[in-house]
Structures are given as C-alpha cells and as structure tokens.
Structure 1
Amino acid sequence: MYDLITVSSLALEPGFGGNVVRGIGAIALYAVVGLLLMLVGFYAIDLTTPGKLNEMVRAGSPNAVVITAAGLLSMAFIVVVAIYNAAGKLTEGLLLALIFGLVGVIVQVLAVRVLEWATRINIGAILRADQFTPASLVVASAHLGLGLVVAVAIS
C-alpha cells in the first residue's frame, strides 16, 4: 500500500510534457523578439547620434562605451516590460511585445535626443573624445531615466 501511494504522488499530471514544450517554445520566441528589439534599439541610437557609434565602441572611446551601455540597458528595460505585459495567447503576446517594444524604442530615442538638445550637450564631441568626459554620465543617466519612464508607460 505504501509503495502505491509513493508512486502515485510522483506521477506527473496529464499534459505536463506538452506544457513544457510549449513553454520552451514561448521562451525561444520571446527571446527572438527581445533580441530583435534590442538590435533595433541599438541601431536607432546609432543612427541618431553623430558618427558611427559601433565603431567608437570597438575603438574603446570611453564616452561612447558609457552612453551605449546605458542606451542598451534602457532598451532592455523597455523590452522586458513590453514582454512582461504582453498578455493573451502566444501569438497575441508576441505581437503586443513587438509593437509596444518598437513604440518604446522610438519614444526613448526621441526623448533622449530632445533632452540632449535642451541641455545643449554636444554629443558628437563627447562621443569622439579620447578621455572620459563627465557629461557622458548626464547622457547615460538620461538614457536610463527615460528608459525607465517609457518602460513604466508601457505597463
């Protein structure tokens, strides 16, 4: 009798395997959407800043690295919240995450550019500088702060 109780308590619910496979598929699909949004976000930052940001980062420009890292983190906030708030069936959730993520990326990039304009920061000069420039922290903070604002707006 004891063995029967032990065996039955270890049995998996019907459909467990299917749920695991669907869950793994959803993770993979959301990861692809997240990666796509992160790439779009990076290239949106790159296209809206003076010079080739990816080249400056590879060359080790300290200010370009700081600003790019903050920009990527801000995009990650937006993507994570867009995915987290994507409810419904898998297809609907993926579409919502993609739509809200793209809108979030666009709003984020525009907001940072407006803030740079309002503060009169010469972002091109900062990015090209060979030495660390404290003003790069202002731009990085703008990325992070506005990324959080946009992410919360998505929720």
Structure 2
Amino acid sequence: MTVLAQAIDSTYWGFVGRGVGAILLYAVIGVLLMLLGFWAIDLTTPGKLPAMVRAGLPNAVTITAAGMLSMAFIIVVAIYNSSGSLLEGIISSLIFGLVGIIAQVAAVRILEWVTGIDIGEVIQAEERRAAATVVAAAHLALGLIVAVAVV
C-alpha cells in the first residue's frame, strides 16, 4: 500500500463522488432555471428578445443582461439555502427557484406598468434609452429582493 493510500480515509472517495455528483446536479438545475428565466423574460417582453439581443439592440441587451443577473441571484440563493438530503435540496432549489423567477418577472412588469414605461418601444429602439437603465436597475433590485426573500 502506498503512503498516499494509507493517508486517505477509506470513505474519502465516496465523499468526493457524492460531492461531484451534487455539483453536476445543481449545475444542471441552475442552467435549466436560467433558461426558464430567460424564456419568462422573453415571454413577457414585447417582440422576440433573442433576435433583438442578437441584433445588438442596446436596450434589449441591457435589460436582458440585468434580467439574467437577477435570475442568477435568485437561483444561487435558492441553491445555497437548500438543505436536507441531496434530493430534498434539489427539490427545494427547483421550487424556490421557480417561485423566485415568477415573482421576479411579475414584479418587474408591475413596476414598468406603474412607471408608465413602454417596454416594447424602449427595448426595440436602436439608440440607448434612459428608461432601459431604469428597467435594468429594477431587474437587479427586485432580483436581490426576491433572492433575500428565498432565505
């Protein structure tokens, strides 16, 4: 037996294997929730958001980037706060991540309505609009609020 093999506890490799498996599962959940978050933003935004982003429309890019960051806040906190067994952690991450995404999208749309911002006009404009910064800030702020609510 080598010195290294003697120095490592016999349960070590099982621990490492479970840890690697958990990382991969949470990464898949994170990616799926991010995709769902993007789809939710696209669904609730006038026009085809992916096409506007690919075309480089500055307001679409700004608002989408802020929306994705806000979704990441929510998903990270949902994963961080998951507890119990791995299965319980995955289920709670999915539930809290989904509820957080729904709350985030609804809150931003309500804020846009209250402020009177015509998001369809702003997001499709070819020049930068100040209102896009307001919507982006709202995404980030509300994403943080919803993320902390997950705690």
1:69 to 51, 65, 79: 65
Structure 1 residue aligned with 2:129? 133
1:25 to 21, 24, 27: 21
Structure 2 residue aligned with 1:52? 48
**Residue 151 in structure 1 maps to residue 134 in structure 2:** no
SS at 2:76 equivalent: helix
Q: Deviations over 1:29-74 (max 9, x none)?
A: 0000000100000000000010001110000000000000000000
Following superposition, the deviation at residue 135 of structure 1 comes to 1.0
Quote the RMSD (CA, aligned, Å).
1.3
Following superposition, the deviation at residue 125 of structure 1 comes to 0.5
**Residue 112 in structure 1 maps to residue 86 in structure 2:** no
User: Runs ≥4 in structure 1, deviation > 6 angstroms?
Assistant: none
Following superposition, the deviation at residue 14 of structure 1 comes to 2.2
Q: Deviations over 1:101-138 (max 9, x none)?
A: 00000000000000000000010011110011111000
Counterpart Cα distance in 2 of 1:134 and 1:20: 49
Counterpart Cα distance in 2 of 1:14 and 1:62: 56
Structure 2 residue aligned with 1:4? none
Q: Unpaired runs of 5+ in structure 2?
A: none
1:102 to 82, 93, 98: 98
Counterpart Cα distance in 1 of 2:93 and 2:39: 19
Counterpart Cα distance in 1 of 2:55 and 2:87: 41
Who wins on radius of gyration, i.e. which is larger?
1
TM-score w.r.t. the length of structure 2 is: 0.96
Counterpart Cα distance in 1 of 2:25 and 2:42: 26
Q: Unpaired runs of 5+ in structure 1?
A: 1-6
Q: Percent identity?
A: 64
Counterpart Cα distance in 1 of 2:80 and 2:50: 29
